[in-house]
């Protein structure tokens, strides 16, 4: 199986934000039609929307920059994977795969609370210390794609926002 970023996958990742924004706009219009326009409540809506929009776009752009031109190929029969048409690497050379998920994805819930809840990524850590990062812009459900990777330990970690840079930041702060 080959995985890479496509426009369709990007829209799939942003679907919650796009559909949510349309429904939210309709809800705001209906609300103000009923009670009349109030600039303070409009400011409240604006701040709320920014709080949803900014982290989602941040994670999306970050994921895009990480895997922009990457091609991840997984061969479950030969038990190998490759990045960007380089030599195939055996699954045996993988030390561990760390799968970073949002809390709702961590407990396999289908319900999403925030637009950034569906964003997740995996770090393939090799025995020689090399690291490869796969984000869900390459495949919408990495956990399902990784089912083809047999005989490798997969560690699931829970983060409120599954962002590699925020993860590094918080790790540096707490350690």
- Where do contacts with other proteins occur on this chain (CB under 8 A)? 16, 19-20, 23-24, 27-28, 31, 35, 38, 40-41, 44-45, 48, 52, 103-104, 107, 109-115, 160
For residue 113, the minimal CB distance to other proteins (Å) is 5
For residue 23, the minimal CB distance to other proteins (Å) is 5
For residue 91, the minimal CB distance to other proteins (Å) is 33
H/E run at residue 155: strand 154-158
Closer to other proteins by CB, 68 or 107: give it.
107
Report in angstroms the alpha-carbon separations of 123 from 114, 164, 175.
23, 9, 20
Closer to other proteins by CB, 106 or 167: give it.
106
Closer to other proteins by CB, 38 or 92: give it.
38
Closer to other proteins by CB, 90 or 109: give it.
109
* 153 neighbors 96 (Cβ within 8 angstroms): yes
Interior angle at CA 6, CA 49 and CA 86, nearest 5:
130
The residues, any chain, with a CB within 8 Å of residue 134's CB and separated by 6 or more, are: 3, 67, 72, 121, 122, 124, 142, 145
For residue 28, the minimal CB distance to other proteins (Å) is 8
Rg of the chain in Å (alpha carbons)? 19
């Amino acid at each position: 199986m080959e995985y890479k970023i496509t426009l369709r996958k990007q829209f799939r990742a942003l679907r919650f934000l796009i559909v949510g924004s349309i429904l939210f706009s309709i809800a705001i219009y209906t609300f103000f039609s009923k009670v009349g326009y109030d600039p303070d409540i409009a400011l409240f809506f604006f701040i709320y929307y920014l709080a949803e929009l900014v982290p989602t776009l941040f994670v999306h752009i970050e994921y895009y920059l990480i895997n922009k031109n990457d091609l991840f190929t997984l061969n479950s029969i030969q038990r190998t994977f490759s990045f960007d048409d380089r030599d195939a690497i055996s699954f045996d050379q993988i030390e561990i795969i760390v799968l970073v998920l949002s809390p709702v994805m961590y407990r396999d819930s289908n319900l999403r609370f925030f637009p950034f809840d569906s964003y997740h990524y995996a770090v393939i850590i090799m025995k020689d210390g090399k690291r490869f990062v796969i984000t869900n812009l390459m495949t919408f459900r990495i956990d399902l794609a990784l089912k083809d990777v047999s005989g490798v330990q997969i560690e699931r970690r829970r983060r409120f926002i599954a962002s590699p840079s925020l993860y590094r930041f918080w790790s540096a702060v707490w350690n």
